[in-house]
Amino acid sequence: MLRYALSVIALMLPLFSCTRWVELTATDTLLTQEAFDTRQELESALTGAYSLVRGEDLAGRNWLLLSDLMAGNASLNCCEFQEFTNLQASPFNSQVEALWAASYRAVNQLNQILAAVDAVAEADPDFSVAEQERIKGEALFLRAAIYFQLVQYFSLPYSEENRDSMGVPLVLEPVLDKDAISYPPRASIGAVYAQIEEDLQQSRKGLPDWAPSGKPGKSAATAYLAKVAFQQRRWVEADSWAEEVLNSYHQLAETPQDFFREEGSSEEIWCTAASADNPNYAGLNWAYSSAYVHPDLVENGYQALLFPRHQATLEAIGYRAVDLRSDTGFLARAPLLSADFTSTFKYEDGLELGDDAPLLRLAEILLIRAETAARLGQVDEAIELLNQIRRRAFRIVESNGALLPDSGPWIDYQSQDFSPEALLAAIARERRVELAFEGNYLHDLTRRRQEVRPGVDWNHPRLRLPIPQGELDANPNLAQNPGY
């Protein structure tokens, strides 16, 4: 019986596209020049790739959920998800297999698109250069996003000591028929990150300055460059890329709720558009409504954002600070947490079964820039960026219930509040709360070189997903390195 081997996955890819491709797949042959004759077919193939990325195996659930479960922001004691909660994911876990398989299906589809654009352009004189570059840009962007998730989940965290350790296989050419089957080894972590950066740099050349919701624009590629450099602890580069995004057209939504309840928010940099076509869809709304918020996130996250001086000043005059991110209905018209603080409602909009996956939004870039500024000694700028997030989140209520127009004077941080270490801790705490349940926390802890669980340090092997056993059986070149 064929398992989800990388080589086999590549041949299965066309099953996810148009009827013509399914017919060709029956003969296990899919030549690029036969499959893509027009730019419309390229667009259809790109749509198929987006469908794979937004599915629950990738951005529609697992990219985000597994990070929170493994890092302890939430727990889900259901079926195989309990293995991630317990840091005991098995090579036979179907979610691990699905994450790996869907990733390489999508990569192969994107590789086919990239390989076909020039040939289609020669055959179609109406295929403009701008459209060619835009399709290439989207394909490169998606490939980079997929590899970024793969290398973070299946490899050791990036560091100078780990850069030559095993990453994931880099497949950059399409597999079109059985004669093209190969068994690629795992590229080094450093090589995978270099390819991600190269793809993002190239994608910027073709992506438009503005893109509709669900599609990446140039700022999305720039934001990913900031995020990738940030994860590598390349503070100067991350700072520069983040600043470029902050100087673009994106703006913070008026409230934290607005981003999650209004599609196409000004804060959105790139979200995958959800699809609820499958009545059994078990995406972000199912996952996080079923998961339990860890008490530590409540106690040392949501409830630890005001310093004693903030609390004392407010109490002295009978005012109250309300954080809309943890408000369960006093002010927030659409709470993001349940009244007992055990579940998140970020993905419970009540309008549709599926939810857009928030992969890049301006609040994250502000917090990246705040941390890089702090690490580069730009303390006042770091604090001002941090305060932008806080002013958006907090509301000050008088004793008679009236809202004050400006929360800043009551909840802002000031430079005298911090040592360098305390400032970084405050930024980390704000990231944990603002970006909770968005797939960042595990990667934040490993980037900061922190203990993730008691006795589980940032580079512990239990924090990496195992290569699926079916892949290891089919491809001997995927063998784990000793002590991994």
- Is residue 278 over pLDDT 60? no
Domain topology for 1-157+172-184+438-476: 1.25.40
pLDDT at residue number 356: 82
Q: What is the mean pLDDT of residues 200-223?
A: 95
pLDDT at residue number 26: 28
HSE (CB half, 13 Å, CA atoms) of 165? 19
Distances (CA, A) of 294 to 341, 370, 426, 433: 9, 26, 19, 12
DSSP string covering 310-344: HHHHHHHTT-EEEETTT-SSSS-SS-SB-TTSSSB
pLDDT at residue number 385: 98
- Of 117, 144, 146, give the one whose Cα is nearest residue 132: 117
Percentage of the chain exceeding pLDDT 90: 77
Burial class (CB in 10 A: 0-12, 13-18, 19+), 103: buried
pLDDT at residue number 31: 38
Measure the CA–CA gap between 388 and 370, rounded to whole angstroms: 10
Contacting residues for 382 by C-beta, under 8 A, at least 6 apart: 370, 371, 373, 374, 423, 427
Condensed to tens digits (0 to 9), the pLDDT of residues 23-81 reads 333 223 333 445 677 889 999 999 999 999 999 999 999 999 999 999 999 999 888 99
Instruction: Output the CA torsion sign for 85, 86, 92, 97.
Output: positive
Contacting residues for 470 by C-beta, under 8 A, at least 6 apart: 3, 4, 5, 97
Q: Please compute Rg for the chain using Cα positions.
A: 23
Q: What is the mean pLDDT of residues 398-414?
A: 94
Q: Per mean pLDDT, which range of 88-92, 343-347, 427-431 is the poorest? A: 343-347
Burial class (CB in 10 A: 0-12, 13-18, 19+), 438: buried
HSE (CB half, 13 Å, CA atoms) of 482? 0
pLDDT at residue number 329: 86
Measure the CA–CA gap between 179 and 447, rounded to whole angstroms: 41
> Crossing angle of helices 362-375/218-231, nearest 10°?
40
Instruction: Give the DSSP H/E element, type plus range, for residue 244.
Output: helix 235-246
Distances (CA, A) of 277 to 14, 24, 55, 288: 20, 26, 11, 20
Measure the CA–CA gap between 253 and 256, rounded to whole angstroms: 7
Measure the CA–CA gap between 98 and 95, rounded to whole angstroms: 5
pLDDT at residue number 281: 56
Q: Read off the pLDDT band of 259 (50, 70, 90).
A: very high
173: left (phi over 0), alpha (psi -120 to 50) or beta: beta
Domains of the chain by residue range: 1-157+172-184+438-476
Mean pLDDT rounded to a whole number for the chain: 88
Q: What is the mean pLDDT of residues 229-236?
A: 98
Instruction: Give the DSSP H/E element, type plus range, for residue 173.
Output: none
Measure the CA–CA gap between 408 and 430, rounded to whole angstroms: 16
pLDDT at residue number 37: 79
- E strands, 347-460, are 357-361, 394-397
pLDDT at residue number 284: 86
HSE (CB half, 13 Å, CA atoms) of 365? 29
pLDDT at residue number 324: 96
Q: Per mean pLDDT, which range of 150-159, 169-178, 392-401, 418-427 is the poorest? A: 169-178
- Is residue 355 over pLDDT 80? no
Measure the CA–CA gap between 52 and 10, rounded to whole angstroms: 13
Q: What is the mean pLDDT of residues 331-356?
A: 80
Distances (CA, A) of 377 to 100, 155, 236, 372, 472: 40, 31, 11, 9, 46
The SS3 of residue 484 is coil
Q: What is the mean pLDDT of residues 153-175?
A: 94
pLDDT at residue number 176: 76
Q: What is the mean pLDDT of residues 461-468?
A: 95
Measure the CA–CA gap between 323 and 306, rounded to whole angstroms: 10
Q: Read off the pLDDT band of 350 (50, 70, 90).
A: low
Q: Read off the pLDDT band of 446 (50, 70, 90).
A: very high
More confident residue, 30 or 154: 154
- Is residue 128 over pLDDT 70? yes
- Is residue 120 over pLDDT 60? yes
